[in-house]
Amino acid sequence: MTRDGRNQKGAGALPFTPAGLTDWESYDAATGDYTGSCLPYGLTRSINAPYPFHLVQSDTHVALLFETNTWFHVVPLDGRGHPEKLEPTWFGHSIGRWEGDTLVVDTVGFNGYTRLDTVGHPHSEALHLTQTFRRIDAGHLAYSVTIDDPKVYTKPWTNERTFTVSSGGLIEYSCEENNRALWEGRIKRWVPPDAR
């Protein structure tokens, strides 16, 4: 059984590798989730957060503007590829292209420190994301994300959903260094996996 009570062989189970399953079952946000230390959520967790984001497009770029801690991620649309040598980052390195009316965003180069979502689904530095965004109508956006990470999952898997377009704007979000819950011990300081 997983920590959320689902049998891994049952419906909805993710195709974890043994290492991925161990990571998933041992994760406990109360023992030091990185977001409690005001570190970047990462690309998928920022999209999965319960806060809005905006897509802003020019002829050469798309920018994802996240209300979550006022993060942003810029995606070039000029046909370039990923660099041969990437410095791993929290949000990875993205390139985008249009396939008809669907924006496809390809991202690699993660540092492996983030989680896919606020529940804590793991990934490694080998993560390769493919995201699609397509306007269904004036009020809705179809979104899909394919997770390909051979260190954590035995095969790629895809999540699809529909976002509702908001007429409101983004508001200021601030995570402060002197987080009271952190200093009073209700949440633990995050330590990178390679420093434990």
Where do the structural domains in the chain lie, given as residue ranges? 18-189
Helix (H) or strand (E) holding 66: strand 61-66
The residue type of 47 is: I
Residue 76 backbone dihedrals phi, psi, to 5 degrees = -70, 145
Q: What is the pLDDT of residue 108?
A: 98
For 73-95, b/e burial (b = at least 16 CB within 10 A) is: bebebeeeeeeeeeeebbbbbbb
What is the average per-residue pLDDT within 160-171? 91
Return mean pLDDT, the chain: 89
Structure tokens at 32: 């030091």
Say yes or no to pLDDT of 21 above 90: yes
- Collect all residues with Cβ–Cβ distance below 8 Å to 80 and sequence separation of at least 6: 95
Neighbours of 112 (CB within 10 A): 19
Say yes or no to pLDDT of 3 above 60: no
Say yes or no to pLDDT of 5 above 60: no
Say yes or no to pLDDT of 55 above 60: yes
Q: What is the pLDDT of residue 180?
A: 67
Q: What is the topology classification, in CATH, of domain 18-189?
A: Lipocalin (2.40.128)
- What is the full DSSP assignment across 33-55? -GGGGT----HHHHHHSSS-EEE
Q: Is 196 exposed, middle or buried (0-12, 13-18, 19+ CB in 10 A)?
A: exposed
Q: What is the pLDDT of residue 11?
A: 45
Q: What is the pLDDT of residue 191?
A: 78
Q: Read off the pLDDT of residues 76-99 as tens digits, 9 standing for 90 and up.
A: 999 999 999 999 999 999 999 999
Say yes or no to pLDDT of 149 above 90: yes
Cα end-to-end distance, the chain, whole Å: 27
